[in-house]
Every structure is written in structure tokens, then in C-alpha cells.
Structure 1
């Protein structure tokens, strides 16, 4: 059992719901941030406050933890360096107000409303705020296949189709004809990882690729 699972199952916190396999993904990408005094995290989707408790116990008391929710009652979960902002994640003006207030984050987790518009707008507005070396993680992307969330298998406009396009953009150094349309994504993203119901973007300043050769006779 990982440290995060131990917190989730065995330590006191408010109600929190997760898919069981998410913990392997969290540990894989987030463990490196533990113990950092300047760590800054944004989680969209506060619900009953349990995940805020979980992250606080996992990363420690010095982190800045910002939660976002549409329910004004979530404001009551604020304490110390755990802050809550009330607003809708498909409201670009609201998201830009977060950027104006907080500037940057090391980790952003989108566990909000899970509609296609919400997930795509959130990524478009907030991805650039992730610091180099940071992570943008979109959860519950299985809603891309569910009609109530504007989804459908290979349906245009879903978050999964949006994320698949990002794989082409990731190779922008090699696609001369479309490079300008890709913006800076391929220069600021080291990798994109897909898991059941999750997509993880690794933020990094990426130099132009350089072929190398080594070995006897090279």
C-alpha cells in the first residue's frame, strides 16, 4: 500500500471518492513534489472536502493548496494555506481570475464537472500556468464516451479527441506544415500519458530534438 492509499483508507479526513487505480498514477507523477516548501497545487472539484484533506496530509503543511468548486458551501473548507475559490470551470473569466491571483502552480488536477466543455476550457486557460517540471492531470475522462457529458465514442469535440490531437502537437518539431498552428505546446510539454479515465501532461521546457551517436566506431 502506498503512502497516499494509507492516508485515503486509514487516516481521518472528510469524504473522498476515487477510482482505485488512480493511486498508482498519483504516486507515479506526484511523489516527487513531497517535501517541497514552495509546492503549489490547484484542484478543481472540492465536493465534500476529503481530497483537500488527503492532499494536505500527503504533501505537508507548507504547500499552497487551492480548491475550486461551484458550491459556495465549499468555502467553509478553507483553513490556513488551503484556499477555496467559488466559480464555474467553464467560465473563462473566472479561470483567468485564478491566473491573475495565483500566477503559477506545480500541479493542476481537474476533477470537476467532467463535461467536455469544462475539461477543454480548463486545459486551454490553465495549462500555461503549470511550472516547468509540473503536471496537469485531467480525471474521469471516461465521460468522453458518455452522452450526458456531451461525449460519445470518437465523437468530435470530446476531451479524448482533444487530447489525441495533442499527440500530434507533441511532435510539432517534425511537422513543418502545421507547426505554427500548434502554438507552443511541443516546446513546453515533455510527454502525454494516457490511463483508464486519466490523461497526464508533463510540463517542461523542451529544446529542439538533437540526434546523437555513441559507441565504438561512431
Structure 2
């Protein structure tokens, strides 16, 4: 089965684009639903600009792309329906301005500075602005194991440990004396891949346990 993004990547003779080899299959699995639609896609960390060209080819001309980087030279990557914002993703004030400018965000891809502060701040500030069926991707999370980035194996405060805790929040309805949060009620999926965390939104209520067949009680309390 062909993978459009991988084929584009290997045929690219334009701007620099850097990706780990296994990312393409993950992108296809979680993002193909957005192709050809009028979406807003935000990529934090655009460097040479090649990835924005890849996403433009993938999603189509109608998609609104917003690239974010700390380097002013990245302004050169702006084009029709592609906006570039310059700022530090560790700065909550900048992230709030990004959210205001973007409005509804359908896909957010964090490929920025990869420090724990940057990744966690970005999630906390921008996840609430993801659309009700949006996808949040934080990649290169192997830096959660690297001390220079604030990480380390099972290090408190790493993005990986932060994301692991979100699993408990996803399952809050089943925790004894647990309390559902906005995250619980708006999140449908958390996935972990090598160096990637994917979180998908979808509104949901408290799960019900259903039974059918002989002796079944129909709908049971959760």
C-alpha cells in the first residue's frame, strides 16, 4: 500500500524536510480523514519549510496552514493560505495569541524545541482550542529521556510522564471516587508510538455497560 507522504518525501527536491522513517505510517493512520477538507493545521517548528510544503501537498490548497517557529528567518516560508508566526512556544502569552489567531484548530503538530517545558506548556495552552474532533501530535518525545531537555527515564516533569498521567484522566469515570474532567469528556484516544504521542478529541459521556443474550440485563449502570 502506497503512502503519499512517504512518496512525497523521497521525491522532494525543494526545501529541507526531516522526518523519522516510521512517522509516515502514523500520519496516514491519524490524519488521512482530513485530506481535501477546509481545515486549520498548526505546525510548531518549521525550520527549513519543507514539512509545510509536504502538508500542503497532502491536505490540498483549501487547507489553512499555520507554521510557528522561534527563528524570524522562517517568515520566508509564508505563502497563499500559509501563515507564519514567530514566537517561543515556552511563552504562554505567545501561545494564547497563537490560539486567538488560529481560532478552531483541527490538527496541531508539535515539532518545536522539544524541551519538557515547551511541550507541556504547548499542550496545556492549546489543547483546549483543538476542535471537538481534532488531533494533537507531539513528536520527537524521545527527548523525554534526555537530561539536557529536562527529561530522563521516568523523570518527573517529562512530557512522557505527563502524557501517561493523561491515561488516568481518560479513565476517570472508572477510578474509585474519581472525577471526570474536561479532558475526560472531550478526549477519545491516547496513543503512544516510538517518539510520538497522539491524542484525539471526540465528545463523550460516561460509558455504559451493555449486555445481550440469555440473562442479559440490557443497559447497566457504569
TM-score range (shorter-chain normalised) is: over 0.9
Q: Does 1:96 align with 2:96?
A: yes
4+ aligned runs moved over 2 Å, structure 1 = 175-178, 214-218
TM-score by length of 2: 0.93
Q: Distance in 1 between matches of 2:74 and 2:151?
A: 28
Distance of aligned partners of 1:211 and 1:136 in 2 relative to their CA distance in 1, 3 Å threshold: same
Deviations 1:12-37 (A, max 9, x none): 4310000000001000000110011x
RMSD between aligned residues: 1.2
TM-score by length of 1: 0.95
Asked whether the 8 Å contact 2:40–2:102 carries over to 1, the reply is no
Match of 2:76 in 1: 76
Number of aligned positions between the proteins: 215
Match of 2:196 in 1: 198
Q: Distance in 1 between matches of 2:102 and 2:141?
A: 26
Structure 1 position 217, deviation (Å) = 5.5
Q: Does 1:53 align with 2:53?
A: yes
Farther-moved stretch of structure 1 (49-58 vs 8-17): 8-17
Asked whether the 8 Å contact 1:106–1:131 carries over to 2, the reply is yes
Farther-moved stretch of structure 1 (62-71 vs 125-134): 125-134
Q: Distance in 1 between matches of 2:25 and 2:170?
A: 24
Q: Distance in 2 between matches of 1:214 and 1:206?
A: 22
Provide the secondary structure at the position in 1 that maps to 2:188: strand
